[in-house]
Structure 1
Amino acid sequence: MPVTSAETPTHLPPSTWHPDSWRSRPITQQPDWPDPVQVERVTEEIALQPPLVLPDEIGTLQRSLAAAAEGNAFLLQAGDCAERFSSCTEHGVRSKLRVILQLAILLTYGSGMPVVKVGRIGGQFAKPRSKPTEVIDGIELPAYRGDIVNSPEPTAEARRPDVERLMRAYHHSSATLNVLRALTTKGFADLEQVHEWNTEFVRRSPAGQHYEQVADNITWALRFMQACGMNGTQSLRQVHFYTSHEALLPHYEQALTRYDKSTGAWFDTSAHMVWIGDRTRQLDGAHVEFLSGIANPIGLKVGPTTTACGLRDLIERLDPNHIPGRLVLISRMGADRVTELLPPLLRAVRSTGRSVVWACDPMHGNTFVSKSGYKTRSLCDITREVVGFFEAHKQEGVHPGGLHLELTGDNVTECLGGAEEILDTHLCTRYETACDPRLNASQSIELAFRVAGLLREHRGS
């Protein structure tokens, strides 16, 4: 694993901060745990477990994000909407990593920029909900809040919050990270495997065929390098891959927060990067309080209700020392409003002098219920928001720093559109998400080609 440079600036917590100071603040989006004493018992057990990631790895990610903030790299943050415990298998992890590597190589090849690869994986088990309950077949049930809390089956027993799932989440995250480390260092991420990342169902699609052409070009370039005596370096045979999730449950995050003597900082070792959602970014709230003290890179969802003044206050709270690579601002405005709402926020952040990564989440602002009753998204709307995101950045002279996607490597039918034209009538065929609809692999690749083109145009402008 990479080692942190001693010159890497580290975020130090405010003098009033402690890993449990969030408990004195108002909090939202929490499960109704039946027994608070049991919550403390389980989290104390988790606190005795080994860290899932190390401060050195977190520092390396911060430096890479600092490069993205300056326009010298691009962040790709992608993965499941809500991970399931059942998907934490070698096959499940491999399929997610495969499509993320495909997207990363397309963005790198198409734009000439290094791509920072961060997965929504190895801990994305908790989900915020718009309502605490839902009605299914006339019965009101607690909402499904992710496998770390309860189960999606529509029964009272399955939906009851179970604190033992916190420990299960830790163990499944650990298993996922073990597989990821093996795959990214032992050959699967080798650029000579670029054709092997394409699955059969994607290969049959127009996007997959276009990808194969790019893979051919990469293969020939590698052969040329070898013919010239430039044998493959380690950087061509393995990748740095980082994990992230929404830090929705502070009990769990606190249990995995450790003090690092070498830097004098606290790190949340549940993931390399964690983020605050659009529903939990209250300035005086528990989530902002907790994340204000840890030294990990922090993501902040920026939705349509975000004001310029409110955003300045949040980033001052989360990044008082102006550390490059500390903040990733994840815009989620919706395709119809991004060019209207985003420019004032870009100007507000630029006025603070901070070096942040602006990333586009084109998923969450474009969700709707189709005529057939399925929650879905349209690839057309997703693409329009990405285009609007780039237009806003060009208008304001700011670097577009990243892309945040919910996707899967499987052949699902959850989002509409794409070259293969998934229609409303197709959604029921393979609608497998536990929560929100995800792009399938071919739709993701199609979008990656478009984003690579936008990046190329932006760099040339």
Structure 2
Amino acid sequence: MPTSAISSWRDRERIQMPVYTDPTALRAVEARLRQLPPLVFADEARRLRTELAAVSRGEAFLLQGGDCAESFDQFGADQVRDFFKVMLQMAMVLTYGAKVPVVKVGRIAGQFAKPRSAPTEKVGEVELPSYRGDIINGFDFTEAARVPDPERMLQAYTQSAATLNMLRGMAKGGFADVNKVHQWTLDFTAEDKAEAYRDIANALQDTLDFIRAAGLSPRKAEELATVDFYSSHEALLLEYEEGLTRTDPMTGELVAGSGHLIWIGDRTRQPDGAHVDFCRQVINPIGLKCGPTTSSEDLKVLIDTLMNGKLDDAGRLMLITRFGADKVEEHLPRLIDTVEEMGAKVVWTCDPMHGNTIKSATGYKTRPFENVLGEVQEFFRVHGEKGTTPGGVHFEMTGQDVTECTGGLRALTDEDLSDRYHTACDPRLNASQALELAFLVNQLMRAPRSAAAQVASA
């Protein structure tokens, strides 16, 4: 039986979560998590909700991106720095296109657990439990590695704390100076293949030159040298999530202390399921992945449940659509109609990654750049026709020079994938592909974004 309200998910069916073989060890880890400081705090989560409310009105734009699944082995200061660097570049390019602030949210400092399409995987004649992310079990294809180990939750916590410490330092310590960020972008557009984006970069340079001429240097204007940056992840492993949930002493409200924003995956969004039950109780902004199988009936129930009946609570709920480039027209309009009929104030954002995963001729899972872009274009087109607000984009990406998605400026092919295919789960955009997408989304955002946004700016 649940020991508190937040534990009520334990009475629901376990979906995409491990069964730990040592209950005593699990209880010890959960007890330790309850004693540790939270990774994020109530006021930070509320501030993000306020910024997302502006996104829902077309007064800001959301950039959410990061690793498919964070890794214990591939963690280091260089990886965090390079990821943050490309996120800042993307945000600057998008800000110039949207002419509104860009809310920056990383898939980082908590994105360790991954849902899987099958409970087991087979190599040759050997069949073992699937790898479910470093917070649960190991990637090595051995029987010992694939046993769920609760101690991994403590390692995930420690790595997340270190990551957030570094991100907070860079966000406020001068690394985010707009002039530095723009110089990195100029380096990108100096490449011959990036010539198409040089005009945008030069226009940005003119803007920064004007700002300096007007006397607004980063030293005089803190806003030019610092940014707000938030963390997010899929709230999949609920023992970890509950262990870091805290009660705000000022209000008595429950706060998920594992990350500023948490989301529910397309495989775990059962209206009466454990993950929905947990997420409805915390005050953090909540994301909900919506795929081709999301019915209008289920969406109504989910919106009402996750918004606790307060359909005008803008900034509380984000709908993250993930259909595939060729399925947007079939599914997005009906979901928009459902939300509009309800009168719910949600943030619409596009995940163009998960619906566009294919197997290459060389046997690697990959995502063609043109399909990723195509889904984003369709997302903007449909919202434009409906007069609703395309609030943001959600990318699986890295700051590293990996070869996991085909296409882009460097025209990666199937044959290139084996060069630097480092992901533990799904293919990610590399730094060049991610920044190129930002330039292309910039062009989409120059058109009127929605009737709602036009009214808001009038």
- What is the Cα deviation at residue 194 of structure 1? 1.7
Contact 1:205 1:442 in 2 (8 A): no
Which stretch shows the higher mean deviation, 215-224 or 418-427? 215-224
1:90-169 aligned at under 5 Å gives the runs: 90-169=77-156
Does residue 210 of structure 2 align to residue 221 of structure 1? no
2:332 to 320, 336, 342: 342
CA distance in 2, matches of 1:58, 1:96: 22
Match of 1:241 in 2: 229
Deviation at 1:231, TM superposition (A): 3.7
Equivalent residue runs for 1:352-431 within 5 Å? 352-431=342-421
Which of these residues, 157, 160, 173, is aligned with residue 160 of structure 2?
173
Q: SS of the residue aligned with 1:134?
A: strand
Contact 2:384–2:449 at 8 Å: present in 1 too? no
SS in 2 for 1:459: coil
Q: Does the CA-based 8 Å contact 1:69-1:401 persist in structure 2?
A: yes
Q: AA paired with 2:214?
A: C
Q: Is the 8 A contact 1:201 1:411 kept in 2?
A: no
Matching of residues 45-64 of structure 1 within 5 Å? 45-64=32-51
2:189, 2:444 → 1: CA distance?
23
Q: Encode CA deviations 1:175-223: one digit per residue, 9 max, x unaligned.
A: 000000011110111102124545978864634x666664554344333
* Compared CA separation, residues 103 and 199, structure 1 to 2 (3 A): same
Contact 2:388 2:450 survives alignment (8 Å): no
C-alpha contact 2:245 2:254 (8 A) present in aligned 1? yes
What residue in structure 1 maps to residue 260 of structure 2? 272
| Aligned-residue offset at 1:372 | 0.8
Deviations 1:101-159 (A, max 9, x none): 11111111122121100000001000000011101232111111111011211122222
Give the drift of 1:27.
1.7
Write out aligned runs for 1:423-442 (5 A): 423-442=413-432
Q: Distance in 2 between matches of 1:393 and 1:195?
A: 30
Letter in 1 for 2:330: E
2:277 is the counterpart of 1:289: yes
Deviation at 1:437, TM superposition (A): 0.3
Distance (Å, rounded) in 1 between the aligned partners of 2:267 and 2:207: 46
Partner amino acid, structure 1, of 2:332: L
Tell me how far 1:285 sits from its aligned partner.
0.6
C-alpha distance in 2 between matches for 1:87 and 1:355: 39
Q: Give the gaps of 5 or more residues in structure 2.
A: 452-458
- The count of residues paired between Structure 1 and Structure 2 equals 445
Q: Could you tell me how far apart the structure 2 residues matched to 1:198 and 1:109 are?
A: 13
Greater displacement, 399-408 / 443-452: 443-452
CA distance in 1, matches of 2:51, 2:91: 15
Misfit runs of 4+, over 6 Å: 199-202
User: Structure 2: which amino acid aligns with 1:272?
Assistant: H
The 1:210/1:88 distance shift into structure 2, 3 A limit, reads farther
SS at match of 1:119: strand
Q: Give the structure 2 partner of residue 458 of structure 1.
A: 448
| Residue pair 1:274, 1:298 contacting (<8 A) in 2 also | yes
**Does the 8 A contact of 2:61 with 2:98 survive in 1?**
no
RMSD (Å), alpha carbons: 1.9
- Give the SS at the match of 1:117: strand
Contact 1:194–1:215 at 8 Å: present in 2 too? no
**Identity of paired residues, percent?**
50
Distance 2:389 2:4 in 1: 32
In the alignment, is the contact (CA less than 8 A) between 1:205 and 1:420 conserved in 2? no
How far the C-alpha of 1:456 sits from its partner, in A, is: 1.3
Q: Cα gap change, 1:37/1:125 in structure 2, threshold over 3 Å: closer, same or farther?
A: same
Following superposition, the deviation at residue 261 of structure 1 comes to 2.6
SS of the counterpart of 2:342? Answer: coil
Query: Is residue 304–residue 341 contact of structure 1 (8 Å, CA) maintained in 2?
Result: yes
Aligned to 2:305: 317
Query: Given that residues 88 and 176 in structure 1 are in contact (C-alpha distance below 8 angstroms), is that contact kept between their aligned partners in structure 2?
Result: no
Distance in structure 2 (CA, Å) of the matches to 1:250 and 1:326: 20
Distance (whole Å) between structure 2 residues aligned to residue 385 and residue 218 of structure 1: 27
Show the 5 A alignment for 1:24-103: 24-103=11-90
Distance 1:219 1:17 in 2: 55
Aligned position for 1:331: 321
1:8 match: none
Structure 2: distance between partners of 1:202 and 1:172: 34
Deviation at 1:409, TM superposition (A): 1.1
Which secondary structure does the structure 2 equivalent of 1:329 belong to? strand
Q: Which amino acid aligns with 1:306?
A: T
Read off the aligned partner of 1:333 and give its amino acid letter. F
SS of the equivalent of 2:73 reads helix
Contact 2:50 2:315 in 1 (8 A): yes
- Structure 2: which amino acid aligns with 1:325? G
In the TM superposition, what is the alpha-carbon distance from 1:162 to its structure 2 partner?
1.2
Instruction: Answer with 232-241 or 196-205: which moved more.
Output: 196-205
TM-aligned CA distance change 1:214 to 1:187, over 3 Å: farther
Equivalent pair of 2:177/2:224 in contact (CA under 8 Å): yes
Q: Determine whether 1:263 maps to 2:263.
A: no
SS in 2 for 1:68: helix
Aligned partners of 1:203 and 1:273: how far apart in 2?
36
In structure 1, how many angstroms separate the alpha carbons of the residues matched to 2:356 and 2:80? 27
How far did 1:397 drift?
1.3
What residue in structure 2 maps to residue 305 of structure 1? 293
Q: Which residue of 2 aligns with 1:6?
A: none
Q: 2: CA distance between counterparts of 1:181 and 1:265?
A: 25
Shift, 1:17, TM fit: 7.8
TM-score with structure 2 length normalisation?
Answer: 0.93
2-structure distance, mates of 1:265, 1:131: 37
